[in-house]
Structure 1
Amino acid sequence: MKRFVLLALSVAISTVAFAQKYKYIDSSKVMGPDSYLKDIKAHPETRLVEIKKYIPEIALDIRYATTNNFTHQQMYGEARAFARLPVVLALKQVEADLKKQGLGLKIFDAYRPYAVTAHFYEVAHDTNFVADPRKGSKHNRGCAVDLTAINLKTGKELDMPTGFDSFSKKAAAAYMDLPKAEIANRAILKTAMEAHGFREIATEWWHFDFNGWSEFPLLDIPFSEIK
């Protein structure tokens, strides 16, 4: 979650970031494009894949490819969503389960390059809502998704406690001073996600980490370089 200024500036900043040392973390702890390609040659089952290609029916609202996010600036040059292959296969199962209830998933964000996480921290230093760049984010590992549930007939999002990327106390996963419908909808999403290997985080009802995320390295690869 961060703050580029214009799309052109965003691309320029990220390009430089991929080629230089990092401000908050030793560069040896972050895998760039060349190292990533070598790694997935040895372990193709862990590669980043485009979510929409594996789950064509899933809805996307990639907020950081627009100005409709907490920074009010465009973070990504492309409105695409990627995650590690095991994560996407698990999401496919979640989508299938929800479909039985007439529901589906809408993705706000998934894999996020490390440089973007570091930039988010400079915008909002509250690590309750943005990842500490000294540790990196599960998003940087391709093992976290930000999402909500939608009605398949109407395409509308179910009523939830807050919108995406809210810094309100109502965004907390266990916050209960809410309308019954919002609590119920949040529970539907949580139940479906946890049934397939995801865990919610305490501060954001929309954020789910995939079990085993610690086995995957931090990545700093622009979308355009993901094959």
Structure 2
Amino acid sequence: MNWKCTVFNGMAILAMALHFGCKETTVNKDLRNDVETELEVGDIKKIKIEKKEEEQIPKLKSLDGLADTLFVRLADYSDDFAYDLRYATENNFLKAKVYDCAECYTRVKTARALLLANKEFMDKGFKIKFFDCYRPNDVQYKMWAIVPNPQYVANPVKGSIHNKGGAVDITLTTLEGEELDMGTDFDFFGKRAYHDNLDLPRNILDNRLLLKETMEKHGFWSIRTEWWHYNLGIASNDKVANFKWDCD
């Protein structure tokens, strides 16, 4: 029996024709070329999409070469911190939102020390979470009006190290984001928040000690009445600042 090759549109008929020994026709060649061309164009589109997505990933900046006293936004230099910036909310002892938006700024030298401290914490399975960072001096005046007690709030005339970009209020979380128990909430004004209060469960004392020893190792020092507050020692002589960061 003589078989005649009939060309239909579709790869299934092409396969049947080849099975019975028919020569590949010009139309079949065109069909194959169309498929190959479509695959090639698809790959190019895929590469373009992947490249576009890659370009949208923000590039972290480097602190190299920056002056120590320059103010920087910490999130531009690391993705490894957590934030709960309370003064951009009403969940604080002022019961008022005093920051237009939640941002964490510090001096460059403070940022460098924080990056090193956080690396050590992360090696142990934890990371730093910020409650407050640089604080404009205007906000310090508002705090002083509510709590005019230098044991808890620095006199705004002299200024806080927060106003100098050298202090942070922090806690620790696991790498999954669960806060370690420090015994009180942030901005708790009472003896339970004191570093020298040892009448607390062992796990709370251990958590505070981990925070304190690691921060001190990287140039920070604590204050007696607040387990969350840390000053960078070399920042104490910097000038009080009052700049406001931009909000998108």
TM-score normalized by the length of structure 1: 0.78
Q: Please name the residue that 2:199 is paired with.
A: 177
Which residue, 213, 216, 228 being the options, matches 1:191? 213
Q: Please name the residue that 1:159 is paired with.
A: 181
Note if 1:125 corresponds to 2:148: yes
How far the C-alpha of 1:134 sits from its partner, in A, is 2.4
- Considering Cα pairs closer than 8 Å and 6+ residues apart, tell me whether 1 or 2 has the greater RCO: 1
Which residue, 228, 233, 244 being the options, matches 1:206? 228
What amino acid is the match of 2:190? S
How far the C-alpha of 1:88 sits from its partner, in A, is 0.5
CA distance in 1, matches of 2:151, 2:236: 19
What amino acid is the match of 2:169? D
Deviations 1:7-34 (A, max 9, x none): xxxxxxxxxxxxxxxxxxxxxxxxxxxx
RMSD of equivalent CA atoms: 1.3
How far the C-alpha of 1:214 sits from its partner, in A, is 2.6
Count of residues paired in the alignment: 182
The 5 Å alignment of 1:15-164 reads 44-153=67-176, 155-164=177-186
CA distance in 1, matches of 2:181, 2:172: 9
Deviation larger for 201-210 or 124-133: 124-133
Deviations 1:99-151 (A, max 9, x none): 11110000000100001001110011122111112211000000000000101
TM-score normalized by the length of structure 2: 0.71
- Segments of 5+ residues of structure 1 without an aligned counterpart are 1-42
CA distance in 2, matches of 1:165, 1:44: 32
How far the C-alpha of 1:215 sits from its partner, in A, is 2.6
CA distance in 1, matches of 2:100, 2:244: 9
Q: Please name the residue that 1:11 is paired with.
A: none
How far the C-alpha of 1:224 sits from its partner, in A, is 2.1
Identity of aligned residues (%): 38
How far the C-alpha of 1:156 sits from its partner, in A, is 1.1
What SS does structure 2 have at the residue aligned with 1:194?
helix
Greater gyration radius: 2
- After the TM superposition, list the runs of 4 or more consecutive aligned residues in structure 1 that deviate by more than 3 angstroms: none
What amino acid is the match of 2:199? D
- Segments of 5+ residues of structure 2 without an aligned counterpart are 1-65
